[in-house]
Amino acid sequence: MTKKRLPLSKVYGLLEPGPVLLLTTAHRGSRNIMPMSWHSMLEFEPPLVACVVSARNYSHKLLRASRHCVLNIPTVELVKQVVACGNCSGAQIDKFSKFGLSVSPGVQVAAPLLDDCFASLECRVADTGLVRRYELFVLEVVAAWSDPKVKEPRTLHHRGYGKFMVAGESIKLPSKMR
Ligand SMILES: Cc1cc2nc3c(=O)[nH]c(=O)nc-3n(C[C@H](O)[C@H](O)[C@H](O)COP(=O)(O)O)c2cc1C
């Protein structure tokens, strides 16, 4: 076997599914942005998404209080802002103005949509049963927006410690999935 034992601390870099998202939240006059890559689909329709939002993050507080958020999907052009948003806390600064990110209002939620992301998913918190144990929120997507001009989004996929894979070529094979 050519494989070598890997420290367990490096496992996440192999499994993180991506794409990296920018989670936006808002509550009573406060708003915030946080990059997030620990998420997973749970159901097709209505779409349910499981997300880990650490209780150390200001976003956790806003998400818990407001029970709404937006999952914005950035492409490689935004990578500097993505990393910058992950290296500071909205408890101290307004990341929207600091990083020049413009927004549009959500239609069904108070959290804003990031204009520079090609897709934005408005969500409500559907289940908090695993928040205390795993900081895991189950979100239901209640409205979805995507720029039809972006055909092959070059999304970011986190490989750990500031390293990203950028989505590239797509291939399509016959599928029986409905
Ligand atoms: C690429 C990337 C992915 C991240 N994924 C997550 C995640 O899935 N969950 C999480 O709680 N924090 C994640 N973080 C860390 C937060 O984004 C970071 O702690 C951020 O500063 C929190 O901001 P806030 O305190 O303003 O909410 C990630 C950071 C980066 C750069």
Summarised one tens digit per residue, pLDDT across range 27-62 is: 999 999 999 999 999 999 999 999 999 999 999 999
Q: Which of 16-20, 142-146, 171-175 has the highest mean pLDDT?
A: 142-146
pTM: 0.96
Place of tokens 């410690």: 161
Residue 71 CA to ligand 1 center (angstroms) comes to: 13
Give the Å distances, CA to CA, from 7 to 4, 10, 44: 10, 6, 34
Cα(53)–Cα(24) distance, integer angstroms: 12
Q: What percent of the chain has pLDDT over 70?
A: 100
Is the CB–ligand 1 distance for residue 138 below 6 Å?
A: no
The residue ranges of every structural domain in the chain are 18-166
In DSSP notation, 24-47 reads: EEEETTEEEEEEE--EEEEETTTT
Provide mean pLDDT across the span 7-12.
86
Is the CB–ligand 1 distance for residue 96 below 6 Å?
A: no
Give the nearest ligand 1 atom to 83 CA.
31
Residue 13 CA to ligand 1 center (angstroms) comes to: 14
Give the nearest ligand 1 atom to 20 CA.
1
Cα(98)–Cα(134) distance, integer angstroms: 31
Is the CB–ligand 1 distance for residue 31 below 6 Å?
A: no
CATH class for domain 18-166? mainly beta
Q: Does 74 sit behind a cis peptide bond, omega within 30 degrees of 0 on the bond before it?
A: no
Is the CB–ligand 1 distance for residue 48 below 6 Å?
A: no
Give the pLDDT score at 161. 86
Give the pLDDT score at 162. 87
Mean pLDDT over each residue of the chain, to the nearest integer:
95
Is the CB–ligand 1 distance for residue 83 below 6 Å?
A: yes
